[in-house]
Amino acid sequence: MPGWNPVSDSPDRRTPSALGLAPPLQAAGFNVAGVLSAERYAGLVPPAWAPQAILPAARSVVVLASGGRALGRAVAAAPTSARDRDPFDAHTRRVAEAAAATLREAGWPTEPLFYFERRGGAFADFVALGRACGLGTPSRLGLLLHPSYGPWLSIRALLLTARPLTPTPELEHSPCDGCPAPCALACHGAALLPPPSGFDREACTATRRRLEACALRCDARRACVVGPEHAYDPETEAHHMSVSTLLPS
């Protein structure tokens, strides 16, 4: 695709294993990860999320994500509890807390943070954090577009840690460059506008409320030419679509 260089923008080192983090992360469905310096992270989050408010000794922030069907399969195989109102969030909490405990046992103070929590009455912008550490580039869909997984990426948690890790840089090229945008043609609400207008969230929300076909499935997302083989199974897509009406994407 014009303007897309899969060699220079390879995401291969943006995985837990490549970052030298706990191997169980990969097995638990967290197959994508990036790193921000504590300073860079502090400039992208509300004050209550800043290192000084949570872990002043922090040197790095690990952004944990899942690409493709890995998380859905891990959640389906994980033990559940009657107290788990949302199995994806409960699984995310268990896995991230275990990873934080592993880092603490190795001598690095670490605190896990989650996309679904408020601190000081505010959410953090996990999409901005994911972009800053190279997990994807902006797209017409209003989602980050991962080089391999395309729009099938879910950014779930952070590890604020005293362990010094090398930051992963932003990606320089977007697969949207030069693309004929079949996603825009497939959108039933005409919400995917050409640059610089971008994604029309109000049009998308109104269409999802009006059309049953858009409530728990996104045909525009499924029309993306990047990573279609990684599309979520229907149950996982329906879950993400339902919670997207409650939390910022």
- Domain extents for the chain? 24-161, 182-238
Given a cut of 90, whether residue 239 has pLDDT beyond it is: no
Given a cut of 50, whether residue 61 has pLDDT beyond it is: yes
* pLDDT given at position 193: 84
Measured distance CA(230)–CA(32) in Å, rounded: 13
Q: What angle do CA 7, 65, 104 make, to 5 degrees?
A: 110
Measured distance CA(237)–CA(217) in Å, rounded: 6
Q: What is the pLDDT of residues 17-35, one digit of tens each?
A: 888 887 789 889 999 999 9
SS3 119: strand
- Average pLDDT value over all residues in the chain: 89
Q: Tell me the mean pLDDT in the region 193-213.
A: 87
Peptide bond into 196 cis (omega under 30): yes
* pLDDT given at position 88: 94
Q: What is the pLDDT of residues 141-184, one digit of tens each?
A: 989 999 999 999 999 999 999 999 999 999 988 888 889 999 99
SS3 112: strand
Measured distance CA(53)–CA(51) in Å, rounded: 5
Given a cut of 80, whether residue 245 has pLDDT beyond it is: no
* pLDDT given at position 83: 65
Given a cut of 80, whether residue 247 has pLDDT beyond it is: no
Backbone torsions φ then ψ of 49, nearest 5 degrees: -95, -5
Binning pLDDT at 50, 70 and 90, where does residue 249 land?
very low
H or E stretch covering 208: helix 201-210
Q: Tell me the mean pLDDT in the region 187-195.
A: 88
243 or 132, which is more confident: 132
- By percentage, how much of the chain surpasses pLDDT 90? 71
Q: What is the pLDDT of residues 80-92, one digit of tens each?
A: 765 668 899 999 9
In terms of C-beta density within 10 A (0-12 exposed, 13-18 middle, 19 or more buried), how is residue 43 classed? exposed
**Model pTM score:** 0.89
Given a cut of 70, whether residue 2 has pLDDT beyond it is: no
